[in-house]
Amino acid sequence: MQDLEKAIQEQGDKVRKLKSSTKDKAVWQPEVNVLLELKKQLEAAQKAAKAAPTAVPAPTPAPAATSSVDPAQVKALEDKIAQQGEKVRTLKAAGNADVWKPEVATLLALKNELAALTGAPAAGGQNKGKKQK
């Protein structure tokens, strides 16, 4: 969530700068749309965090003493994420939100744990709202 908050702050600054430099809506409107999407992602993450109080373990940060990442640990987390993603897709197909929402929270926690381990931003949510063909 901290990464999203930082991204929102940066995008907000960008939008303010563009709006102050030009009145042409075609220039700044796409950036406003990006900002709104980031805010939606933050809201969803906050709701997921509230919905899964202690059932989802907090990601453990990588030890500060070692600068290298254990590839086996990364692979194991990626496998867990893939399995959890399949579980979420299956449950979503069944349609009962009370069942799949906690599983989504678990998936997000796994992705955040991987991000903390590798130092890369958490994956997911990029295609939200886009229809697949």
Q: In this structure, are 7 and 45 located in the same domain?
A: yes
Q: Is 132 a domain residue? A: no
Q: In this structure, are 14 and 41 located in the same domain?
A: yes
pTM of the model: 0.43
Q: How many domains does the chain have?
A: 2
Q: In this structure, are 6 and 42 located in the same domain?
A: yes
In the prediction, which pLDDT does 66 show? 45
In the prediction, which pLDDT does 72 show? 77
In the prediction, which pLDDT does 125 show? 53
Q: Is 37 a domain residue? A: yes
pLDDT in tens, 34-56: 999 999 999 999 988 888 765 55
In the prediction, which pLDDT does 65 show? 45
Of the candidates 51, 74, 90, which is a domain's last residue?
51
Q: In this structure, are 111 and 70 located in the same domain?
A: yes
Q: In this structure, are 82 and 31 located in the same domain?
A: no
Q: Is 73 a domain residue? A: yes
Q: Is 56 a domain residue? A: no
Taking only the tens of pLDDT, the chain with its 133 residues reads 889 999 999 999 999 999 999 889 998 999 999 999 999 999 999 988 888 765 555 555 555 444 566 777 777 778 878 887 777 787 777 777 777 677 777 777 778 777 777 776 665 554 555 565 5
Give the chain as a 3 state SS string. Answer: CHHHHHHHHHHHHHHHHHHHHCCCHHHHHHHHHHHHHHHHHHHHHHHHHHHCCCCCCCCCCCCCCCCCCCHHHHHHHHHHHHHHHHHHHHHHHHCCHHHHHHHHHHHHHHHHHHHHHHCCCCCCCCCCCCCCC
Residue 78 Cα to chain centre, angstroms: 15
Residue-range definition of the domain harbouring residue 116: 64-123
